[in-house]
Amino acid sequence: MRSDLKKVELHCHLEGAAPPDLTEAQARKYGIDISAHLQDGVYVWHDFASFLECYDKVSEVYKTEEDYALLTETYLEELAGIGTIYSELIVSPDHGKRIGLGADAYISGVCEGIRRAKAKSSIEARLIVTGERHFGPESVIGAAEYAAKAANPLITGFNLAGEERMGRVADYARAFDIARDAGLGLTIHAGEVCGAFSVSDALDAVRPSRIGHGVRAIEDADLVKRLADLGTVLEVCPGSNIALKVFPDFDSHPLRRLRDAGVKVTISSDDPPFFHTSLKREYELASQAFGFSDADINAMTQTAIEAAFVDEETRKALLARL
């Protein structure tokens, strides 16, 4: 793969992208001992419970509006350095509330980071507000209302993340109605931890234009056809899927089979340093592990721009840069 291919990322959780070096510096600044979770520049975890514990501990060292500006700017600069022209970051205003910073200051810090990165390297970025399923429908409706009322031009999408096995998608449909009415783009985590039924449920209850992961749709041929017919775009994160053992190895990962069946697929990194990956590595995997040509990979990047939650003028400019 040519290393100068332009890149786009649609699925990345901001706190999950925290660069280990920056986390280490932040921990030092606040006198927080993070050595059990971060060793030699690598986040350390061994099962899902310790992954969540590590994730929480890392999130703890980002406390202020300026910390969030710095985190956002640092990650976007890393992306720009590998030829990324557009990024959508998944953010949780509820997280801002839970850490005592407040949703507005949290979002304002992130937006400042986006502005700084754009000024430096002209990378475009937008925010997808997410509800967290394990906090229940009321909290997810709250997140949707927050995103709708914010009227912030950088908030352009709504997502549902968190524990997929909690409740049915229909319980969260109201939140998506609020987001849809506010003109936000819709995407939802499904078909990762849970099987094909969770993707069908998402299509039925939410009618999203994109699905986060969605890869387990491969278990149901009719569903694969439905995705292809609808043109629903999958935000596929192969490195994350392998790290979390959704599939045992890249050979059994369905990215290529989905693409060959006519499903629109794109490549993202999810929580990159936690899964010992990066967007750069995901693009390399597309070539080395899945055998896609540069033209195939560019087509996926183009699909990502076409599916991006941006205004048409920005989309046109991004397509021109590709």
* Residues annotated catalytic, as ranges: 192
C-beta separation of 219 from 241 below 8 A: no
Please tell me the distance from the alpha carbon of residue 210 to that of residue 193, in angstroms, as a whole number.
Answer: 17
Please give the structure tokens belonging to residue 256.
């290529």
Nearest position to Zn ion, beta carbon: 270
Closer residue to Zn ion (CB): 9 or 270: 270
Contact 217, 199 (CB under 8 A): yes
User: Least separation, in Å, of the C-beta of 91 and Zn ion?
Assistant: 12
Which residue, 27 or 264, is less far from Zn ion as judged by CB? Answer: 264
Please spell the DSSP secondary structure of 291-310, one letter per residue: ---HHHHHHHHHHHHHHSSS
Kindly tell me which of 78 and 270 has the beta carbon lying closer to Zn ion: 270
164: left (phi over 0), alpha (psi -120 to 50) or beta: alpha
Given the complex with Zn ion, which of 14 and 103 has the nearer CB atom? 14
Instruction: Report the distance separating Cα 53 and Cα 47, nearest Å.
Output: 10
Q: How far is the CB of 13 from Zn ion (least distance, A)?
A: 6
Least distance CB 271 / Zn ion (angstroms): 7
**Structural tokens at position 291:** 């055998």
Q: Measured from the CB of residue 10, what is the shortest distance to Zn ion in angstroms?
A: 10
Kindly list the residues in this chain that would bind Zn ion in the complex (CB under 5 A). 270
Closest distance of CB 16 from Zn ion, Å: 7
Report the distance separating Cα 159 and Cα 12, nearest Å: 12
Q: Computed from CA positions of residues 69, 74, 78, 83, in that sequence, does the dihedral angle turn out positive or negative?
A: positive
For β-strands 42-43 and 38-39, DSSP reports them as antiparallel
Q: Which is nearer to Zn ion, 132 or 270 (CB)?
A: 270
CA 142 – CA 120 distance, rounded (Å): 34
